Structure 1
């Protein structure tokens, strides 16, 4: 059995940049010196809001786009200098469906095998094996256009694995799926990680998805790496508890002044978004800080709603290191796109 720890990084990115021409020929900086490594054989999550640069990075790593600067290697192979060789080592599942709705599941996978250079017999054999592996054998002769969303997504992953790649890229694999189909896809990703030495690069803007699936994650925002580590280690880095208060028509400075004297609160962040907002703060004992914080807001005449106290979450990690909550970053307007439609 291969000792994965002795292998070079499955992905090695250094100083990666990507600049597009936006409206009126203004530059749009999609990646700003992105640097990270991914050890072989793990599930690695690139977590960030829409427009953070995740898909741009994935397109470069899968040879679908060229960087403006920096370097990127898959299994030690430069993605710019040797793209054809890189493609033999990777599988890629894009955000959109990649299979033909008019062909059956078996025909789609056999076609994928033929496109990868397999003979007809080997392609059909590999298709049958993958259909069984992904629980799609009973639907193998059904046109893919009649598949459910979850079944079609599993077929997309199977098609990306037809040539047995060493690195599998999943770009927002559960977007648009219902909760049941999403849970089934999570189970498939966990199975792939447990049963093979494949490295899975998962890009997602679902906090729970990254928390549950990834061995290691990188939080990316505004085209650069914010922080990285295992989900548990990142949450443990925020000592203490999180106090969160929903605000109604918040006056940011007024809220800050109101809680400034509350003992034990630190890293106070007040966010306002139209008629709503939130107060988030760190404290060694949130349960002891709730009553003083509520009293301070009441005394200042600050209207508020739900109050919660909990151990740190990935949303708290994102807020702490990126300076804004993940939910609000994900809801912010998407950046401009390039002439070829690639989002920043």
Structure 2
């Protein structure tokens, strides 16, 4: 197969369509464009321990190269999937010449440098997965031009700066993962305009400020993960009305206020509720006993007071209950009687009551707790 310099190929394509050459000739020119773009991408790879790109040569058609898939009709590259191949190097700007590309997955490699801004020209892109690399610097890609983008996965890189404002204008996004980077500044208020969003995960950054009230507009949201940041202020009340939420993960921030009394009624599908290491106060709402799918309840390292409710024994799927380092209990007898109700939680793996003010004796019913129980913490109480 002949190769062609990308600039020459681009000029050929312009001439082809402007002069109305036969479609077969046009297809040849555009195929050469994809071929040249892939070879340019290969040239930026400095380490290929699994010899992934060894097959990227003239002996077979580029649609048969490892990690490459083409659309049957046009024989144009639609998928470039080089996930977990141990590759090192940089991402070539030539990737923007793969104009039929729908899925780009370079995750779990060691790509460095910047994400080429040219990627913003790929209007057919639906999935961009660049997680677990060493990409760095601010993201300057104008991804708002990728109006078909549905999944954006940039977790575990070295990105810095604010979350790009154009992310909030991509109306077809369904899943956004920005975890474990160095993003700073606030959560975009415009994220609340992406009504199709089901996953918003920005754990482990340097995000500050308040959680915008607009997040409560995302009625389809399943997962909201803002843990391990520096968020402050109240949790917007609108978030407690997101009835499709299965995961609410806000641990290790500086959030304040109390939990609404009806949280167990407004979040009926919640499975993971982890808000430890904040400044939350008040009592543990009785209505949590209505969250029949709840598996993880982690309220540790806050300022909750009162007691642990026996009605939590209604949570048959509960595997983790953590209320350590709060102000629970008032050093009176029978304050640990709720442990008996937890016999009904047959999946319980961890029960952590450390660092409270529970008084009385440990009930003998402790011996009847789940056979899966691996951690039982009750140190630093008044037993």
Shared fold per TM-score greater than 0.5: no
- TM-score for the superposition, normalised by structure 1: 0.27
Question: Which structure is higher in helix share?
Answer: 1
Structure showing greater Rg: 2
- TM-score for the superposition, normalised by structure 2: 0.25
Question: Which structure is higher in strand share?
Answer: 1
